[in-house]
Amino acid sequence: MAAALGRPRIGVLALQGDVIEHVQMLRAVGADPTLVRLPRELHDLDGIVLPGGESTTMGKLMRRYELLTPLRALIRDGLATYGTCAGMILLADRVLRSADDQPTIGGMDLTVERNSFGSQVESFETDLNIEEMPGGPFRAVFIRAPRIQAAGPRVDILARLADNTPVAARQGSLLVSAFHPELTSDDRMHRLFLDVCKDNRGRLEQRLLAAQA
């Protein structure tokens, strides 16, 4: 584990999208962010963020540069992961309205519909109540956003729109939101993710110690 007592080292998938926005927010909440474009950059991470952007572009570049297999293995082994918008699509086990031959990572028991609200003129902001999050409503920005159409029994839904559409969820160490906290100044989702990373690190270390004993 990297920096066992120091700041958690969080990768940001940097093939395309709003990478810097996540980097800045991660830094602000006390993480040590690092960019991931190639498989060798996946080492010693306490967590990884899959940013907003075009899921088709990121999927194709992940396949071309052989990131899909190592990422799937890391996520299966418990790497804490936060996907925003396109990142949520990449983490979902089932994607509706995907492009032909669109590679994804998977790992979360979700059915997600891409670009589910319509074209850019339908993009919107709204106040959301996020489960167990102190500090009042969260100003959430949705851009050509995906929608969670179905979630398996291991998935906790963390937030819903007024019409009940689920837009944020957690499954163990995997966190997703259809909206973009990184476009606002509200860092509570990133703090939540950092807590997931830290819990996870503690658990993995215990497992390692148990294995050694």
Partner 1 sequence: MLERGTWTAKRGLAQMLKGGVIMDVVTPEHARIAEEAGAVAVMALERVPADIRAAGGVARMSDPGLVESIQRSVTIPVMAKARIGHFVEAQVLQAIGIDYIDESEVLTPADETHHIDKSKFTVPFVCGARDLGEALRRIGEGAAMIRIKGEAGSGNIVEAVRHMRQVTNGIRKLQSLLPEQLMAEAKELAAPLELVKEVHETGALPVVNFAAGGVATPADAALMMQLGADGVFVGSGVFKSSDPARRAKAIVEATTHYDNPEIIAEASKDLGDAMRGLEIAAIPEAELLAARGW
Binding site for partner 1 (CB under 8 A): 14-21, 37, 52-54, 56-57, 60-61, 64, 85-86, 97-101, 114-115, 118-127, 141-144, 161, 180, 183-184
- What tokens appear for 200 in the block? 């996870």
- Least CB distance to partner 1 at residue 24 (A): 12
Residue in 21, 22, 113, 180 annotated catalytic: 180
Judge contact between 116 and 146, C-beta under 8 A.
Answer: yes
- Least CB distance to partner 1 at residue 122 (A): 7
**Nearer to partner 1 by C-beta: 115 or 173?**
115
Residue in 22, 54, 85, 197 annotated catalytic: 85
- What tokens appear for 172 in the block? 């163990």
First and final C-alpha spacing in the chain: 18
Encoded amino acid at 200, one letter: N
Residue in 21, 54, 113, 182 annotated catalytic: 182
Encoded amino acid at 182, one letter: E
Q: What angle do CA 144, 131, 45 make, to 5 degrees?
A: 70
- Least CB distance to partner 1 at residue 208 (A): 34
Task: Enumerate helices (H) and strands (E) in the chain, giving the number of each.
Answer: 5, 12
**Nearer to partner 1 by C-beta: 5 or 40?**
40
Known catalytic membership, residue 85: yes
Please list the active-site residues. 85, 180, 182
